Amino acid sequence: MIARRSLPFSLPRTACAALSAAILLTAAAPAIGAVESDRTKRYTLGSHHGPYMVMVAAIHPLRGGNDTGLTPAEAADRVCWELRDQGIPAYVYAMNTETQSLVTLSPDGQEKERLMATMRGGVCVLAGNFKTADDKIAQKLLKHIKTKVKCPTLEPEAATGGFVRTKGGGFFQATNGRPRSALSRAFVTVNPLLDSAQLQRLRKINDPLLVRLNSGEEYGLHKCKGNYSVVVKEFRGRTLTQVSGTKSADVGERVDVSGDLSEAGREAWELCQILRNRENQEAYVWHDRHRSVVTIGSFSSPKDPEAVRTARKWAAKPADTGVPTPVTVAVPKGERDIRKAERYWLLEVTPYAMPVPNM
């Protein structure tokens, strides 16, 4: 069944042009200029799009088939072209599961998870490329699509039995109190191709304690441009706790940090400096309530070949005794006898990739 959304169009050409330009300036598009709309092409959604987008329409096959209208793929392509004709970068995404979870976001950044009930053959149309859910242009685009954009394929043609038939041969359910438009239920979501770690990075850390601990770090892990970095050393402390009786408004100022945790933070900072200044490594530091970690590198995923090579490079090496020997970073450089070293650190036996936090 085609569950679509669409609307009559009356926005002045100058306003359309201004909105299109604004969308392009915030988009992750390869170039600034007119949005391409080629009827011979399918504009397929990729993981590099977004990460925040407007879900324009989710088109499902009609139970029992539909001999008179377009297939979901044909309808999605047409809607995509029609949006692009109006300067809106749009993409199609084929759903291949019975149900799919999507994270939707309100203008104030509140997340809600909704299940899209789908059947094989369903296709979505998404539009825009925005860095945040509350991006002003994203919210303007959402309103524009819901109230002004006209997609002829989804334009209402006739109503019957509680359903509205579109000019593309599809149907959407008429709802009391809503406009007779297939586009009126558009919403902001995240790119459905992003994995759980990438989604986690999109969610900003709102713990004031972690913000306080990490905001002053010159090489804080949150400044890493990749999605992942490889942990080469963990420094475990005790805990970081809120002082009894504090309120949320002052929690960032009244924190009880154990001496062990403070020492872990200092150790991590010192190791990071040595890795950067002496070993020429892209090292970062991250502090949380129970530990401080030092990481190396910036990678797109934990399976990135460079991430794998980095983990292997800094992993413990086999020894004749059968017990792996951890890599040692010592001061002075090259000192193998830790009893003679001024400072030394034994790195993790098995380094691992961790998602880069968003702060």
| DSSP code per residue over 85-114 | HTT--EEEEE--SSEEEEEEE-TT--EEEE
Q: What is the pLDDT of residues 95-108, one digit of tens each?
A: 765 545 555 555 55
Mean predicted confidence (pLDDT) in 327-333: 85
Mean predicted confidence (pLDDT) in 248-272: 66
Higher-confidence position of 159 and 139: 139
User: Computed over its alpha carbons, how large is the radius of gyration of the chain?
Assistant: 26
Q: Which of 16-20, 211-215, 315-319, 346-350 has the lowest mean pLDDT?
A: 16-20
Q: Which of 41-45, 137-141, 222-226, 247-251 has the lowest mean pLDDT?
A: 247-251
State residue 182's pLDDT score: 74
State residue 39's pLDDT score: 93
Residues 6+ apart with CB under 8 A from 217: 223, 269, 285, 287
Domain boundaries, the chain: 2-194, 203-355
pLDDT at 348 over 70: yes
State residue 237's pLDDT score: 65
pTM for the complete prediction? 0.52
State residue 10's pLDDT score: 31
For residues 47-74, one letter each, b for 16 or more C-beta atoms within 10 angstroms of the residue's C-beta and e for the rest, the string is eebbbbbbbbbbbbbbeeebeebbbbbe
CA distance 212 to 215: 6
Mean predicted confidence (pLDDT) in 138-151: 89
State residue 159's pLDDT score: 65
Say what percent of the chain tops pLDDT 70. Answer: 66
Higher-confidence position of 274 and 117: 274
Q: What is the pLDDT of residues 161-186, one digit of tens each?
A: 566 667 666 666 555 555 567 788 88
pLDDT at 247 over 50: no
Residue in the structure block whose two tokens are 């009609």 = 62
Read off the tokens for 225.
């441009």
| Contact in structure between 264 and 236 (CB atoms under 8 Å) | yes
State residue 68's pLDDT score: 56
Query: What mean pLDDT is reported for the chain?
Result: 75
Most confident option among 22-31, 168-177, 196-205: 196-205
State residue 209's pLDDT score: 83
Mean predicted confidence (pLDDT) in 304-326: 87
